[in-house]
Amino acid sequence: MPLDVIHPPPFSVVEESSSVAVTRWKKWIKTFQFYLEATGVNSQGQRRALLLHVAGPEVQEIFSTLPDPLDTLDLVVAALENYFSPQVNIKYERVLFRQVKQESGETTDSYVTRLRKLAATCEFHDTNDAILDQVIEKFYSLEHRRKALQERNLTLDKLLQLARAMEVANRQANVIEGNSGNNNQVNKVQYSKPVKKTYYNNKQSKPDQKTYRPKEFVKQEL
C-alpha cells in the first residue's frame, strides 16, 4: 500500500435529520472508494477491515450491533446504508422538497442542482419529472414560467436549455440597455438647446408686472 495515500477522515455519526445522515454517508463512501482504488487493495477481507478502520469508532460501534455476518466490503456498506435509510421520513422529505423556491439571481441550473440533492431522499417515481414540475411552479421569473408553459412535451433538459438561453439574453439586454441609457444621458447634455433670452423694448408689449424685466427695457421705458 502506498504510504503517501491519505485516507478520508472518520465518519461522524451526529444527531441530525436522517436525510442529511444518509447523504453524508453516501458521499463518504464514494470518497472511501476512491481511496481504495488509490491503495490498490483487492482482498475483500482487507477492504472490509480497512473500511471499518478508516470509518472510525462510531461506525465500528454501529457495525457491532448488526446481526448478520458481514464478511465483505459490499455487505458492510449495504448494511450500514440500510441502518441510516429506514429512518428517513419520505413524506417529510417531500414536503421539504416542495418548499424550495428559486432565489433571486439564482440560475436555473443551480436551482435544479439543489432540487436534485433533496430529491435523492424523496423516492420519486420519476425524479426528473418531479424536478420539472417544481421548477415551473417555483420559478422566480414570471417570464420564464410563462415561456415554459407555452412549450409542449417539455422535458427537464429542454427546460434547462430554454432557461439558459433566456438568462443569457436577459444579461446581454441589460448590458446593452445600460450602455444605451448612459449614451442617451451624454447626448442629452451635449445637444441640449441653449436657453433663449427674450428682451423687450418700448415698441413691444410690456411683460406682466410680476415678470422680471431686463435692464435694457427699464432704460428704454425711462
> Is position 75 within any domain?
yes
pLDDT at 51: 92
Quick one: how many helices (H) and strands (E) in the chain? 10, 0
At 143, list the grid cell: 417570464
Per-residue DSSP letter, 43: -
Q: In the chain, how many domains are there?
A: 1
Q: What percent of the chain has pLDDT over 70?
A: 75
> Is position 47 within any domain?
yes
Non-local (6+) Cβ contacts of 177 within 8 A are: none
pLDDT at 89: 83
pLDDT at 1: 47
CA dihedral over 10, 32, 60, 22, signed as positive or negative:
positive
> Is position 37 within any domain?
yes
Alpha-carbon distance 93 to 55, whole Å? 27
Q: What is the pLDDT of residues 182-207, one digit of tens each?
A: 655 655 555 555 656 555 555 555 55
> Is position 46 within any domain?
yes
> Is position 80 within any domain?
yes
Is the distance from CB of 155 to CB of 132 less than 8 angstroms?
Answer: yes
Look at 46 and 16; give whichever has higher pLDDT.
Answer: 46
Q: What is the pLDDT of residues 32-53, one digit of tens each?
A: 999 998 988 888 888 999 999 9
CA dihedral over 96, 98, 103, 106, signed as positive or negative:
positive
Alpha-carbon distance 185 to 190, whole Å? 9
Per-residue DSSP letter, 220: H
pLDDT at 213: 57
The domain containing residue 76 runs over which residues? 18-87
pLDDT category of residue 162 using cuts at 50, 70 and 90 = very high
> Is position 35 within any domain?
yes
Alpha-carbon distance 205 to 22, whole Å? 92
- Smallest CA-to-CA distance from 133 within 117, 149, 121 is with 149
> Is position 128 within any domain?
no
Look at 202 and 157; give whichever has higher pLDDT.
Answer: 157
Residue 7, φ and ψ in degrees, nearest 5 = -80, 160
> Is position 30 within any domain?
yes
CA dihedral 142, 144, 147, 148 (to 10 degrees): -110
Look at 193 and 12; give whichever has higher pLDDT.
Answer: 12
pLDDT at 205: 53
